[in-house]
């Protein structure tokens, strides 16, 4: 039989190939084009090929002609994508193994063909798929690196702060490399979520440093988040509050999910390339030790850092100190030098006087010391001095050190009145539910004064008011005001003082009054703000509608730190002018005014200073009142000298009561 007959006989004996079989062969050949080579460099055989037989696309042995492709380019483009599950693996093909974990499917995945992905795009665009994979891995590593090295204060955030190598990232790599597949994935999810939570905590710290000049307290500060939402609503409206809350929730979920997925991604990459990952981790570990030992720096920032561990350690310490602070404070709560003093021996030096304790919101030392604000504030205080002297009043001033800065007015108020250092919400709740006497309640205890509170910033129930010993409290709904809010401020200061005159101070044949007055117009965000108008034009407050329209928009003001400081200074000027004009207009020979700031403004205004000093001034018509504090060394006038004494705000109560006990 010749060659031609042999070929015809062989063709006749082979079974005819169906269309479905041909399609499967073509699909398998297309999938095999993307299949990575084995370790020895040889490509895996197409699934349609039989052992010992050449594939359809292979050229005859010894032939110089190129192999014929299984599919044309046009056929490949028009072919339906085939999912990996539809392509049968050869029964005798050996699965790739990892010498360290031969049963770990994660390690084996690097030897498998690219997954089809959405609509099979991975198989159609293998280079793009690999580029996306590499880019995703790089972004995952960058996300975790940023979460670990990013400072928790905006004023410390520089480009150099991100050029650091955290030892914690190296330790995480060692842990993940040492674990088997399932444990590695679970650990990666947990650690990733934890890193995300710490990043969220850093963001909270950033906000608290910008407003309170301190980090977020994991024990006591959760209640302040509700206050922050209220402030957002008052400053930017209900829609602004809703958008802010939605944004925070979305950001929180995105950070937690993103960090967890990033950690899982890196864990899988390290598992697929274990030898390379082990070598890289060792190199980075040695490099970190050398840089740390030699204190290598980049742009003034230490390259090898363990700052993330220190950050976590500090948070644990804050929590531990916070939990232990309750016992310390309870002991302080029982110490009161005047607790056993008979009522008829209390505050005898002020009997018959009207004593007004007035807080000016955010009136801090920066308003008088900052060179951009001091000239204008000097003019306001000089005019106030002249106004008071013309009415027969004298004044003396000094400094108090507040327990808070940026915000937390109620903590400062309770510190000043209770004589205890109220530095957190837990202390505030403890003292306001105790029997500890305050400066105002001692006035009430004597029976010689009617005690009232003017609190325009209060818009909800205020059960703590009873603790401060006030016979009657006038909040924002009881001052007769029908005008507009000025951002956060429910009632302008001038109107609050005028209402006090009408409701209490101006009544005839009344008892002496002790009043706690909390002015609110200089509350953050200081835009828009009111300005003083003739007192006889105040009416029911509707005149302020036009004044508000002429004011500035807070969203525009807060785009510039310079404008923020300018508006802050104007707000303080308005509050001081309103107060001194009121004393000039309504004060008499029995009026004693003690006014002070509650705390410094936010760091945007102070420039991040740690100074917590606020001015305090005592104004009186009767010279004997000021004579009783002549030994204190205070400065004459409304402006305290730079060298004037600085007293802790918690020390004022006892010192004041001692001075006026005779």
User: What per-residue confidence (pLDDT) applies to 640?
Assistant: 97
Q: List residues bridging with 647 in a β-sheet.
A: 400
Q: Is 277 helix (H, G, I), strand (E, B) or coil?
A: helix
> pTM score, two decimals?
0.72
What pLDDT score does 1 carry? 44
- pLDDT band of residue 37 (cuts 50, 70, 90) is very low
Q: What is the DSSP letter of 46?
A: P
The band of 262, judged by pLDDT with boundaries at 50, 70 and 90, is very high
Q: Which residues of 98-132 are buried (b: 16+ CB within 10 A; e: fewer)?
A: beeeeebebbbeebebbebeeebebbbeeeebeee
Asked whether the predicted pLDDT for residue 84 surpasses 80, the reply is no
Maximum Cα–Cα distance across the chain:
141
Q: What is the pLDDT of residue 239?
A: 82
Average pLDDT over all residues of the chain = 83
Q: Are strands 394-401 and 613-620 parallel, antiparallel or unpaired?
A: antiparallel
CB contact at 8 A, 316 and 324: no
Q: Range with the lowest mean pLDDT among 84-88, 190-194, 233-237, 556-560?
A: 84-88
Mean predicted confidence (pLDDT) in 268-294: 93
pLDDT tens profile 13-23: 444 444 444 44
Q: Which residues of 557-588 are buried (b: 16+ CB within 10 A; e: fewer)?
A: bbeeeeebbbbbbbbbbbbbbbbbbbbbebbe
Higher-pLDDT residue of 219 and 358 is 358
The model's pLDDT over 59-79, given as tens digits with 9 standing for 90+, comes to 444 444 444 444 443 343 334
Q: Which residues face 620 on adjacent strands?
A: 394, 592
- Tens of pLDDT, residue by residue over 300-316, are 788 899 989 999 999 89
Q: How far apart are alpha carbons 549 and 30 in whole angstroms?
A: 71
Residue of 122 and 349 predicted with greater confidence: 349
| 357 Cα distance to chain centroid | 33
What's the full length of the chain, in residues?
Answer: 662
User: What average pLDDT does this structure show over 414-422?
Assistant: 97
* Cα dihedral 116→119→123→125 (10° resolution): -140
- pLDDT at residue 117, rounded to an integer: 57
Per-residue pLDDT tens digits for 614-660: 999 999 999 999 999 999 999 999 999 999 999 999 999 999 999 99
Selection from 353, 367, 402 nearest residue 638 by Cα:
367
**pLDDT reported for residue 234:** 66
Q: Which residue has the higher pLDDT, 550 or 104?
A: 550
396: left (phi over 0), alpha (psi -120 to 50) or beta: beta
> Which of 193-197, 318-322, 520-524, 577-581 is predicted with the least confidence, judged by mean pLDDT?
318-322
Q: What integer pLDDT is reported at residue 46 of this predicted model?
A: 41
In Å, what is the CA distance from 521 to each residue of 95, 356, 636? 75, 18, 26
Q: Does the pLDDT of residue 91 top 70, yes or no? A: no
Asked if residues 425 and 413 have their Cβ atoms less than 8 Å apart, the reply is: no
Q: How far apart are CA 141 and CA 407, in angstroms?
A: 37
Q: Which residue has the higher pLDDT, 238 or 582?
A: 582
Whether pLDDT at 409 is above 60: yes
365 vs 100: CA distance, rounded Å: 66
pLDDT band at 495 (very low <50, low <70, confident <90, very high): very high
* 165-166 and 394-401 beta bridge pairing: unpaired
615 vs 601: CA distance, rounded Å = 13
Range 26-38 average pLDDT: 40
**What percent of the chain clears pLDDT 90, i.e. is strictly above it?**
59
Asked if residues 266 and 175 have their Cβ atoms less than 8 Å apart, the reply is no
Q: What is the chain's percent helix, strand, coil content, to nearest 5?
A: 55, 10, 35
């Amino acid at each position: 039989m010749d060659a031609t007959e042999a070929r015809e006989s062989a063709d006749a004996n082979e079974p005819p190939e169906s269309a479905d079989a041909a399609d499967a062969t073509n699909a398998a050949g297309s999938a095999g084009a993307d299949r990575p080579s084995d370790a020895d460099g040889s490509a895996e055989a197409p699934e349609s090929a039989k052992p010992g037989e050449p594939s359809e696309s292979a050229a005859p042995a010894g032939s110089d002609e190129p192999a014929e492709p299984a599919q044309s380019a046009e056929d490949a483009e028009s072919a339906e994508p085939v999912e990996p599950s539809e392509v049968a693996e050869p029964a005798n093909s050996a699965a790739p193994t990892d010498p360290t974990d031969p049963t770990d499917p994660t390690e084996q995945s690097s030897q498998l063909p690219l997954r089809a992905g959405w609509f099979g795009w991975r198989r159609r665009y293998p280079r793009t798929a690999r580029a996306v994979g590499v880019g995703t891995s790089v972004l995952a590593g960058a996300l975790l690196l940023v979460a670990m090295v990013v400072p928790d204060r905006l004023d410390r955030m520089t480009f150099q702060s991100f050029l650091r190598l955290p030892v914690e990232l190296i330790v995480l790599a060692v842990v993940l490399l040492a674990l088997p597949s399932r444990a590695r994935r679970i650990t990666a999810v947990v650690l990733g979520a934890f890193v995300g939570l710490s990043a969220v905590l850093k963001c909270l710290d950033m906000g608290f440093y910008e407003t309170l000049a301190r980090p977020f307290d994991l024990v006591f500060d959760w209640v302040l988040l509700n206050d922050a939402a209220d402030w957002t609503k008052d400053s930017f409206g209900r829609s602004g509050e809703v958008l802010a809350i939605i944004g925070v929730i979305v950001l929180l979920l995105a950070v937690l999910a993103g960090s967890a997925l990033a950690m899982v991604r890196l864990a899988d990459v390290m598992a697929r390339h274990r030898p390379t990952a082990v070598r890289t981790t060792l190199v980075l570990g040695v490099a970190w030790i050398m840089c740390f030992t030699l204190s290598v720096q980049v742009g003034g920032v230490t390259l090898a850092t363990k700052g993330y561990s220190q950050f976590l350690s500090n948070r644990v310490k804050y929590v531990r100190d916070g939990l232990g602070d309750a016992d310390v404070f309870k002991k302080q709560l029982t110490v009161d030098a005047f607790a056993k003093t008979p009522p008829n021996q209390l505050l005898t030096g002020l009997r018959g006087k009207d004593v007004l304790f007035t807080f000016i919101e955010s009136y801090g030392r920066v308003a008088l010391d900052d060179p951009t604000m001091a000239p204008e504030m000097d003019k306001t205080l000089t005019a106030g001095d002249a106004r008071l002297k013309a009415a027969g009043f004298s004044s003396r001033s000094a400094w108090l050190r507040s327990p808070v800065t940026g915000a937390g007015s109620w903590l400062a108020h309770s510190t000043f009145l209770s004589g205890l250092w109220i530095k957190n919400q837990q202390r505030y709740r403890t003292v306001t539910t105790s029997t500890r006497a305050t400066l105002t309640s001692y006035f009430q205890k004597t029976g010689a004064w009617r005690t009232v509170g003017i609190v325009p910033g209060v818009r909800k129930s205020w059960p703590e008011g009873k603790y401060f010993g006030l016979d009657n409290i006038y909040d924002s709904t009881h001052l007769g005001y029908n005008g507009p809010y000025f951002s956060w401020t429910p009632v302008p200061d001038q109107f609050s003082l005028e209402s006090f005159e009408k409701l209490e101070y101006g009544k005839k044949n009344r008892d002496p009054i002790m009043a706690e007055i909390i002015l609110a117009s200089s509350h953050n965000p200081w835009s828009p703000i009111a300005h003083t108008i003739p007192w006889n034009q105040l009416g029911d407050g509707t005149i302020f509608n036009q004044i508000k329209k002429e004011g500035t928009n807070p969203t525009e003001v807060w785009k510039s730190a310079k404008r923020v400081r300018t508006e802050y200074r104007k707000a303080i000027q308005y509050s001081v002018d309103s107060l001194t004009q009121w004393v000039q207009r309504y004060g008499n020979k029995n009026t004693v005014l003690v006014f002070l700031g509650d705390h410094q403004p936010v760091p945007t205004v102070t420039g991040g200073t740690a100074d917590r000093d606020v001015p305090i001034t005592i104004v009186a018509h009767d010279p004997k009142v000021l004579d009783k504090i002549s030994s204190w060394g205070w400065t004459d006038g409304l402006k305290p000298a730079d060298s004037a004494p600085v007293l802790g705000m918690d020390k004022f109560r006892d010192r004041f009561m001692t001075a006026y006990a005779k």
